[in-house]
């Protein structure tokens, strides 16, 4: 099973790509203590137990990696596509090889927050934690945010 989410971010594609691939920026909006070896075969990790290996990298276009967080759908893959220019970027995130509908729904919540948070961070310089974000969004809104 696959999960596909999209988000438009009012920011240059180079800034959005950097937000997903630069350890210092990732540590600001997504996690803490991000480590990134951005090359095919290179590894990433962070304090949330997210880890994996980069499978494909096309600067400002695509980053594809394994998702090996032992607590959340290990052994899956994530592709993040970036389509934009100097002012706006469309991000398409696809989480591949999810085993069950429960896994799809679990990852949907986390990735929907991540895309909302990176947008907030890049456009306004703010961020919202996952738990705080959950309090502000209903299940109906989550379903519509697909």
Domain count, the chain: 1
Residue given tokens 């934009």 in the structure block: 84
Answer whether residue 140 shows pLDDT above 90.
no
Domain span at residue 10 reads 3-144
Q: Give CA–CA dist 34/101, Å, rounded.
A: 29
CATH number at 116 reads 3.30.530.20
pLDDT band at 45 (very low <50, low <70, confident <90, very high): very high
pLDDT band at 7 (very low <50, low <70, confident <90, very high): very high
How many other β-carbons are positioned within 10 Å of the β-carbon of residue 64? 17
Phi then psi for residue 22, to 5 deg, are -105, 125
Residue 100, SS3?
Answer: coil
Answer whether residue 13 shows pLDDT above 90.
yes
30 to 35, 95, 100, 101: CA distances (angstroms): 12, 17, 25, 24
What pTM was estimated for this model as a whole?
0.92
pLDDT band at 143 (very low <50, low <70, confident <90, very high): low
């Amino acid at each position: 099973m696959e999960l596909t989410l999209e988000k438009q971010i009012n920011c240059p594609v180079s800034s959005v790509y950097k937000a997903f691939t630069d350890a210092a920026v990732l540590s600001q909006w997504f996690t803490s203590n991000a480590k990134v070896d951005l090359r095919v075969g290179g590894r990433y990790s962070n304090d949330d137990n997210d880890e994996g290996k980069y499978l494909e990298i096309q600067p400002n276009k695509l980053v594809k990696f394994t998702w090996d967080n032992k607590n959340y759908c290990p052994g899956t893959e994530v592709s993040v596509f970036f389509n934009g220019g100097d002012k706006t970027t469309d991000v398409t995130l696809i989480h591949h090889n999810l085993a069950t509908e429960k896994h799809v729904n679990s990852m949907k919540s986390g990735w929907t927050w991540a895309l909302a948070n990176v947008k907030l961070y890049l456009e306004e310089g703010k961020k919202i934690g996952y738990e705080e974000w959950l309090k502000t969004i209903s299940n109906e809104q989550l379903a519509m945010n697909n």
